[in-house]
Homo-oligomer: A and B are copies of this chain.
């Protein structure tokens, strides 16, 4: 590997002079600068970021931890985060916790040993608290995405889960539905709790009784087994005419179940959910959804993170951004007489 010393020797200057040329600091004569640049070119010198990080105590690396890399919500978010990171001169490492606290724990270790300058994290759930405390203790700035974690104060970008869920219910009610079930993520995830509240609010505002038997709680991630959900559905009496899914993945899982059983949507039952399904849904506009501004989650979160990193001294107050969810009406809901 070509080092700064190799360049210095060949250009007959000190390493420091080469460093100054690279970073455009200090005073360098045009002649020397030209010579050093020429030698760097000749030798194909590339600065060693590792050495630089060690002495500067910053890596210019940021980390994005998401919970489901196959979910278009998160890839779109990642896209936003990447764009914003790049704009600020940071590079982005990323990891995928798969909604698992254990995998998240591994990534926290990676984050700590890698000495990244900051972290953008969609926490797996409330049990993520120790992980966040660990980041805080080690003074790693972080911004939460999509989910709150009780017990920690920090910058955060949230979607308006309660409002979105309420509107999904109200939409169903407006279409004549009275018997609405809810398939939700784990109650240990804040957005799941808020969506449940939104569902309850929606029912109440429509003068419909809330019946907890019509709520099924599982994980926001892909389901390995659909039988449990099938059994829950079977024992509902009367059967619901519509289902609200806590996110896009769950909606797809429900659709998969219905497909297996030969149940047609929306003819036999209606479905709505949180989060859109990526570019494909534009083309085959099927699911009615409360679409969140995924790109903005990533972009704004990253902006907050960079700001937090750069203003490390000044005790900025914690910021909280709440992004609205927009109802996109398509054709997965049947109008009841």
Residues of A at the B interface (CB closer than 8 Å) are: 1, 44, 46-51, 53-54, 57, 59, 61, 69-70, 72, 75-76, 78-79, 82, 86, 91-96, 106, 109-110, 112-115, 137-138, 222, 249, 252, 255-256, 259, 277-284, 286
Contact, CB under 8 Å: A96 / B70 = no
Contact, CB under 8 Å: B93 / A93 = yes
Quick one: which of B53, B76, B283, B286 contacts A259, CB cutoff 8 A? Answer: B283
Contact, CB under 8 Å: A70 / B79 = yes
Contact, CB under 8 Å: A94 / B91 = no
13 further A-B pairs in the complex, CB-CB below 8 A; given A54-B54, A70-B75: A44-B137, A44-B138, A46-B109, A46-B112, A49-B115, A50-B53, A50-B114, A69-B79, A70-B79, A75-B75, A252-B283, A255-B283, A284-B286
Query: Using Cβ atoms and an 8 Å threshold, which residues of chain B touch A72?
Result: 70, 278
Query: Using Cβ atoms and an 8 Å threshold, which residues of chain B touch A48?
Result: 54, 113, 115
Query: Using Cβ atoms and an 8 Å threshold, which residues of chain B touch A57?
Result: 1
Contact, CB under 8 Å: A280 / B279 = no
A79 to B75, CA, bound (A): 12
Q: Distance in Å from the Cβ of A116 to the closest Cβ of chain B? A: 10
Q: A53 — nearest CB in chain B belongs to which residue?
A: B50
A112 to B50, CA, bound (A): 11
Q: List 22 A-B contacts (CB under 8 A).
A: A1-B138, A46-B138, A50-B50, A50-B54, A50-B114, A54-B54, A69-B78, A70-B75, A70-B279, A79-B96, A86-B106, A91-B93, A92-B93, A92-B95, A93-B93, A252-B279, A252-B282, A255-B283, A256-B283, A259-B283, A280-B281, A284-B286
A72 to B71, CA, bound (A): 9
Q: A50-B50, A114-B91, A115-B50 are in contact. Are A256 and B280 (CB under 8 A)?
A: no
Q: Distance in Å from the Cβ of A180 to the closest Cβ of chain B? A: 21
A332 to B256, CA, bound (A): 19
Quick one: which of B114, B138, B279, B286 contacts A222, CB cutoff 8 A? Answer: B279
A91 to B70, CA, bound (A): 19
Quick one: which of B49, B51, B110 contacts A91, CB cutoff 8 A? Answer: B110
Query: Using Cβ atoms and an 8 Å threshold, which residues of chain B touch A51?
Result: 54
A286 to B283, CA, bound (A): 11
Contact, CB under 8 Å: A280 / B283 = no
Q: A107 — nearest CB in chain B belongs to which residue?
A: B91
